Amino acid sequence: MEKTMRSFKLMLICLASLASTVMLGCPAVSEDDSTEPGSDQTVQVEDAICIPETTAFGWAMCLCDDLNLKGNGLTAEPLYPDAPPLNLGVNGRVSSMGNLVVHGTMDIGGELLDFGNTRIHDDLLVGERALIAGRVVVDEDAYFGESLVGAGMLKVGGGLSVADRNLFAGHLDYNQKPMSIYQPHDPCPCSKNDIINIKEIVRQHRLDTPLVLASGAGNQVVKVAAGDYYTDNAWVFAGNTRIEIDGKVRFFVEDDILLIGNGKITLLPGAQLDLYISGSLSEIGNFHFGQAYDENNPEPARVYVGGEKPITIIGNESFVGGIYAPLSTVRAIGNLKIVGSLFAKDFRVKGNAKISWNSDLVDDACVDDDSDEEDDGEGTDAGTDDESEESDSDDGAGDDVCGSDGVPN
């Protein structure tokens, strides 16, 4: 019955297009043409889907499994000098053979294997064994949940806590002071209860306005007006494709997206975009995603990927917004710049990656309707005994509560 109603709806839309030069979903976009889906009718846009943004974008980067760095490596920093400190969380292993620079706290649930140059401007927390054969500098405190080994250099501006054996044979420098024992934990919310079901969200929008974007090569310009749009076809664009978002737009794509060439998905002034993809996302070439007029504002653009296939990014890519892909491995080869946030299963960098985080991404986070209590306290260092004592009555599973700085407690 649902399929019949959908077919009937599509037939009515296409018949109505005979009386209108522009209509939703029916005409294909030809080369050098500009199409405005929905421009001839009023589209009622409902409120955004309630996704806890503290879960999706509360960290500059959060990985459910591993971080692997080769080449120039990764730099993570606040977007503005006076912005709140950022956090990088990795539930699994961090393996670095390049440069890792974090202007904030680095919280690792698994091992640290460092063969390059690492600089942490706040605390470093490592849940399992740490092997340091390169150079590691930590401005504040360093916590190690298991043994510390290696023959490189470790310089800690604050205190050092090693829960197991300290077998480090290299150059070690730190301040003697009382330190609590680090309690290993998974910093990122990656349990089955925490993961947002993107595929189900897309399925629930199968009756939204159908949108046909003509795949192919050449110079395409597509202007999309406010509304909710659904497609079950893969997007494959090559050449100089430009999709312009004008208004509050949500795309629901029940397939994959492949972008090749010098393409752009740009947001015009005042626009917002939520892109939900059931499959995967791949970008090859020189691609830009986000606002065209303000490349330092990631707040209006968010991408949610529900597939398990790798997200491959090759070339010079610029992304302004939040990326949530908890089941996907993100592979970056070349130069990747993210002004916003990355949440993924794994992150593998061969080249140069930079993440500039802005706390504005979590300003409009959803509030749990079942929560009757407010969290007015300020937490201590993640994973220390002090914090464990404060939260004995609540293990925090599934919570999406922000601290005063917009970062998950």
pLDDT, tens digit, 9 for 90 and up, residues 227-258: 999 988 887 777 778 889 999 999 999 999 88
Q: For residues 154 and 168, what is the distance between their CA atoms, to the nearest angstrom?
A: 9
Could you read off the pLDDT of 29-75 as tens digits, one per residue? 333 333 333 333 333 334 446 665 566 788 999 999 999 999 888 99
Could you read off the pLDDT of 104-155 as tens digits, one per residue? 999 999 999 999 999 999 999 999 999 999 999 999 999 999 999 999 999 9
The domains of the chain are located at 25-40+195-362, 65-187+376-409
Residue 391 burial (CB count, 10 A): 14
pLDDT at 382 > cutoff 70 = no
Could you read off the pLDDT of 165-176 as tens digits, one per residue? 999 999 999 998
Burial of 223 (0-12, 13-18, 19+ CB in 10 A): middle
Q: What is the pLDDT of residue 49?
A: 61
**SS3 string of the chain?**
CHHHHHHHHHHHHHHHHHHCCCCCCCCCCCCCCEECCCCCCCCCCCCCCCCCHHHHHCCCEEECCCEEEEEEEEEEEECCCCCCCEEEEECCCEEECCEEEECEEEEECCCEEECCEEEECCCEEECCCEEECCEEEECCCEEECCCEECCCEEEECCCEEECCCECCCCEEECCCCCCCCCCCCCCCCCCCCCCCCHHHHHHCCCCCEECCCCCECCCCEEEEEEEEEEECCCEEEEECCEEEEEEEEEEEECCCEEEEECCEEEECCCCEEEEEECCCEEEEEEEEEEECCCCCCCCCEEEEECCCCCEEEEEEEEEEEEEEEEEEEEEEEEEEEEEEEEEEEEEEEEEEEEEEECHHHHCCCCCCCCCCCCCCCCCCCCCCHHHHHHCCCCCCCCCCCECCCCCEC
pLDDT above 90 covers a percentage of the chain that reads 46
Q: What is the pLDDT of residue 275?
A: 93
**Contact present, 271 and 300 (Cβ < 8 Å):** yes
More confident residue, 37 or 358: 358
Q: For residues 367 and 344, what is the distance between their CA atoms, to the nearest angstrom?
A: 23
Residue 389 burial (CB count, 10 A): 10
More confident residue, 240 or 92: 92
Q: For residues 40 and 148, what is the distance between their CA atoms, to the nearest angstrom?
A: 65
The rounded mean pLDDT for the chain is 77
pLDDT at 198 > cutoff 50 = yes
- Which of 188, 189, 235, 196 has the alpha carbon at shortest distance from 324? 196
Q: For residues 48 and 342, what is the distance between their CA atoms, to the nearest angstrom?
A: 20
More confident residue, 299 or 271: 271
Q: Is the pTM of this model over 0.75?
A: yes
**Contact present, 291 and 315 (Cβ < 8 Å):** no
Q: What is the pLDDT of residue 225?
A: 92
Which residue has 């806590």 as its token pair? 161
Degrees, nearest 5: CA angle 391-392-393:
90
Query: Which residues touch 317 (CB under 8 Å, ≥6 apart)?
Result: 283, 286, 287, 288, 332, 334, 335, 336, 337
Which residue has 């985080």 as its token pair? 357
What mean pLDDT do residues 364-377 have?
A: 40
List the structure tokens of 354: 């930079």
- Choose the weakest-confidence range: 21-35, 222-236, 366-380: 21-35
Residue 281 burial (CB count, 10 A): 25
Could you read off the pLDDT of 5-20 as tens digits, one per residue? 444 344 333 333 332 2
pLDDT at 85 > cutoff 90 = no
Cα-Cα end-to-end distance for the chain: 46
List the structure tokens of 311: 């997200």
Q: For residues 84 and 66, what is the distance between their CA atoms, to the nearest angstrom?
A: 25
CA atoms within 13 A on the CB side of 75: 12
Q: For residues 102 and 242, what is the distance between their CA atoms, to the nearest angstrom?
A: 33
